[in-house]
Amino acid sequence: MRTLDRETSRRIASLGLVCAVFVVILHAAQPAPADPATAAWWLNAMTAGTFGRLAVPFFFAVSGFFLARHADAPGWWRRETAKRIGSLLVPFAFWSCVWAALVSSESIVRNALSGASPVVAVPQGRTLVRFLGLDPFSAPADPPLWFLRCLFVFAVLSPAIFFAVRRGGVLLPAISLLLSAVVSSGVLPPKTSGLLTYGFSVEGLAFYSAGAWLAFSEKALPQGRAAASVSAAGASGLVLSRVLAAAGSPVADPLQKLALPAALFALWRFFPRVRIGHSAASCAFAVYLVHPVVVRVSNAFFYGRNGCLALILKFAGFSAVSLALALVLGKAPPVFRKVAFGGRGGKGEPRDLPSSAPGPAPALPTKEPAP
């Protein structure tokens, strides 16, 4: 299997940080403007509703791509699964606890200000299961953590996924993508839809298996007019899906799902070859994990305002604060980084870890990567 050259690896890592910022933008506007007749709705739709939706598919594709590159090594499954216990499940548990502490603190402050009892009820039953991230039918209490949970499931099931990809090529990604469009249409029962979105994401499976297909096939991505056509189709599909959403069309979200692969290719093709410093690029995973806390705390200063100016301030401010906090925590002792970020961040070269140096590769060069 051919290796990645230094320039491609750096570009992948840089785009990973950009996609982490996309996730911040996606969540910064929550609750999103509800009236399509307002400029704020369109600003959110054409930012968070378009390129903001490319981030998590990008991370899934890269995770499948890099893990598939280890699939021919002896004992790869046991070794890589054990590694992901530390890089995915440990941060999942840590940030679930942080989120529970944050929500409890808010409740204590709110009760104190209102003169109510400062005692906070201990979560029980379904609420406790959700706080622990153990409900496969819904997102965890800290919503972005569903990605870590689902990615670990895919890692465990990788032998079966990779077998299907080796035998069927793009059949598994295509079927999974079509199923994700069905899920987004709202025709399935709520529990089934929740399971296929947050517990075993069929959209995530589409891109995870597509990343594995890229690794196994080593096919060059489209070039020239074909590349331009694919890119234009992806971008047009995302924009059209938001126009249809403004009109209340039931096909808006399914169209958005179907346009994601081509739009993701367009992002890779047109992303500028900028050089982002390693300290910043290596903290993409940290940005992803800290941003829900930043968004929840910072949103209190906006008092529900979601006009155009408020959205712009949120997009820029929340992204900057999340990046700054990630950089600061990246200087923390290795033990903390291991627990909070699975060992990502800090000094050293990027590693082949999901979400730390993510990105589906273009036509892969044959030059050996940097040590």
For 65-110, the pLDDT digits (tens) are 999 999 999 999 999 999 999 999 999 999 999 998 888 887 777 7
- 164 compared with 282, residue with greater pLDDT: 164
**pTM metric for this prediction:** 0.89
Q: Which of the four pLDDT bands, split at 50, 70 and 90, describes residue 121?
A: low
pLDDT given for residue 206 in this prediction: 98
What distance in Å separates the CA atoms of residue 204 and residue 60, rounded to the nearest whole number? 6
pLDDT given for residue 354 in this prediction: 38
CB neighbour list of residue 47: distance below 8 Å, 6 or more residues apart: 25, 315
Least confident stretch, 51-60, 154-163, 351-360: 351-360
Helix (H, G, I), strand (E, B) or coil at 251: coil
pLDDT above 70 covers a percentage of the chain that reads: 88
For 6-40, the pLDDT digits (tens) are 777 888 888 999 999 999 999 998 778 888 989 99
Q: What are phi and psi of 94, to 5 degrees?
A: -60, -50
pLDDT given for residue 157 in this prediction: 97
What distance in Å separates the CA atoms of residue 298 and residue 105, rounded to the nearest whole number? 15
Quick one: average pLDDT of 123-147? 83
**Cis amide leading into 31 (omega within 30):** yes
Quick one: average pLDDT of 211-226? 86
- pLDDT at 361 exceeding the cut of 50: no
**CA 54-60-66 angle, 5° bins:** 130
DSSP letters, 347-361, are SS---S-TTTS----
pLDDT given for residue 358 in this prediction: 37
pLDDT given for residue 26 in this prediction: 92
pLDDT given for residue 352 in this prediction: 40
Query: Which amino acid belongs to residue 212?
Result: A
Q: Which of the four pLDDT bands, split at 50, 70 and 90, describes residue 231?
A: very high
What distance in Å separates the CA atoms of residue 11 and residue 19, rounded to the nearest whole number? 12
pLDDT given for residue 100 in this prediction: 85
- pLDDT at 259 exceeding the cut of 50: yes
pLDDT given for residue 118 in this prediction: 59
Mean pLDDT of the chain: 86
Give the residue from 51, 40, 45 showing the smallest Cα distance to 15.
51
Quick one: average pLDDT of 341-348? 69
pLDDT above 90 covers a percentage of the chain that reads: 61
Inter-axis angle of helices 252-270 and 55-68, nearest 10? 60
pLDDT given for residue 78 in this prediction: 95
- pLDDT at 369 exceeding the cut of 60: no
- 366 compared with 37, residue with greater pLDDT: 37
- The most confident of the ranges 137-141, 219-223, 256-260 is 256-260
pLDDT given for residue 357 in this prediction: 37
Quick one: average pLDDT of 224-248? 93
CB neighbour list of residue 307: distance below 8 Å, 6 or more residues apart: 40
- 186 compared with 360, residue with greater pLDDT: 186
pLDDT given for residue 341 in this prediction: 94
